[in-house]
Amino acid sequence: MNQLTFRLALPGLIIIGLIHLSSFAVASADADASGGPMLEGASVSPENGPWGSMHFTFVVTYTDDNGSLPAPGYPKLYLDGAEMVMEESDQADNDVTDGKVYHKSWAPGKENIGLYSFYYYIETLSGENARDPATGTHDGPLVEKWSVSLSSEVDNPEPATGEIVTFSGYLGTTEENLGAKNLILYKLLLDDKISENSTTTYENGYFILLLDAPSPGIFFYRVQFPGDNYYEVSESSRLYVNTLDKSLVFGVYAVVLLALVGALMFLFSRGIARAHYLKPVFLGFVVGFFLLYMGASFIGVLAAGGIAGYLFARVTRKWTTHLRIGCMTGFLFLLVIGLLFAYSFTDFPEALGLYYSVTQAEVFEILFLQTIFLVVDYALLIGMGAVLGGTLRKLLKPAEQRPATVEGSGYYRSEMVNFRRKTWG
């Protein structure tokens, strides 16, 4: 009997315990839902910005279902430990059951640069309190250094060696010009830079830097503000000083290029009658260069070879000769584009991609390396185009290169024999 009673009583006790636990949970939930102060909707705007130029606004919403108002001096903002009393966004709103917004505006000075964190805290007239977040802090805002602009120009970008060159400009922010700031003039090298001069800005942010024009070459410079505790680093755009002897550079390069092209044309034209290659080479060059000028690029280059090879295939079907004709067309491209490149390089080096200082001797080196590249590039590409053009003609007009087998064709056959003798000996 006792065992039966125990077995019956144990489930009952468990059920009663579960009922009490659920009642306690419901009561706790009701208490949480119905009471106590709460802070939510924390934000700061903007999230970042420079000191002295703006106000950071902190916002939070206070809610209390019981309608208990904040105690005097609350809610408070704690910004990296600094205590600030927040203000009512709407002083006429005294109903906190549906949320009341508070804000605080903060204008950082130069001493406040850095990343901050914050939290809100409130005590009510009824003696309760709340915190947002419950533990830890919110991230932000970031108070930044001022971004600085540095303008600069050179008064004489093409001086004679030894002349005085003047760099000048302004240093400032969007709000003010910066006086008494140190500036450095750097000469830019391929992998480094060298300090050439330094100065301090005037009260209005204006500066002047002087430089003795260096020995012949193309030299690039930047003016740099190295930054300080309150302003960011800033650099001017690249400025160049060109002291080349342009006539000497262009004249020497033109003579060497003409000699090179002449020698290549002579070698590649040996054994080919001039009357047979002049028209294909000239027409291929003219059409191809026009297409290149119009922006056809790779297609224009291949078209030049294709036209030359197609026209020359009328007199021979040997692809190696078509290749030679294409290379000869490419040498004309080399001559014209090489001269244009040399002229543009000595006058507008930055437009052609040069961004570091080079001496006059190094300018010659760059020009001749570019010539080697052009020889390989144009000769091979246009030569390939000529082979394709010759092949195309053989496919489209096979009859004009076949030996004659019908009566009355002896004249054509004798002309071909004579041509071959003249062309290949």
Tens of pLDDT, residues 318-341: 999 999 999 999 999 999 999 999
- Bridge partners, residue 102, by sequence: 60, 88
> Is 70 exceeded by the pLDDT of residue 422?
no
Instruction: Give the mean model confidence (pLDDT) for residues 87-114.
Output: 95
pTM above 0.95, yes or no: no
Instruction: Give the mean model confidence (pLDDT) for residues 176-191.
Output: 96
pLDDT in the model for residue 328: 96
Task: Please give the mean pLDDT across all residues of the chain.
Answer: 87
Q: What CATH number has the domain spanning 149-242?
A: 2.60.40.10
pLDDT bucket at 108, cuts 50 / 70 / 90 = very high
Q: What CATH number has the domain spanning 34-144?
A: 2.60.40.10
> Is 50 exceeded by the pLDDT of residue 29?
no
Contacts of residue 187, defined as CB under 8 A and 6 or more positions apart, other chains included, come to 193, 194, 196, 219, 220, 221, 357
> Is 80 exceeded by the pLDDT of residue 151?
yes
**Residue 213 to residues 220, 222, 357: CA-CA distances in angstroms?**
12, 15, 13
Contact 220, 154 (CB under 8 A): no
pLDDT in the model for residue 404: 42
> Is 90 exceeded by the pLDDT of residue 315?
no
Residue with tokens 């076949």, as numbered in its chain? 402
Environment class of 396 (CB within 10 Å of its CB; exposed 0-12, middle 13-18, buried 19+): exposed
pLDDT in the model for residue 292: 87
| Lowest-confidence region among 203-217, 273-287, 291-305 | 291-305
Percent share of the chain, pLDDT over 90: 73
pLDDT in the model for residue 317: 84
Helix (H) or strand (E) segment spanning residue 153:
strand 149-154
pLDDT in the model for residue 413: 47
| Lowest-confidence region among 120-124, 177-181, 405-409 | 405-409
Contacts of residue 145, defined as CB under 8 A and 6 or more positions apart, other chains included, come to 50, 51, 113, 227, 229, 230, 231, 232
pLDDT in the model for residue 14: 57
> Is 50 exceeded by the pLDDT of residue 135?
yes
Distance, CA of 322 to CA of 316 (rounded, Å): 8
Contact 401, 312 (CB under 8 A): no
Q: Where in the chain is the domain with CATH 2.60.40.10?
A: 34-144, 149-242
Q: Running DSSP on this structure, what letter comes out for residue 160?
A: P
Largest CA distance in the chain: 139
Instruction: Report H helices in 313-359.
Output: 319-347
Instruction: Give the mean model confidence (pLDDT) for residues 358-372.
Output: 94
CA-CA-CA-CA torsion for 327, 328, 331, 332, nearest 10 degrees?
A: -130
3-state class of 325 per DSSP? helix
Instruction: Give the mean model confidence (pLDDT) for residues 238-253.
Output: 95
Between 353 and 239, the more confident residue is 239
The number of CA neighbours under 13 Å toward the Cβ of 190 is 3
> Is 60 exceeded by the pLDDT of residue 19?
no
Ramachandran class of 227: left when φ > 0, alpha when ψ lies in -120 to 50, beta otherwise: left
3-state class of 345 per DSSP? helix
> Is 50 exceeded by the pLDDT of residue 39?
yes
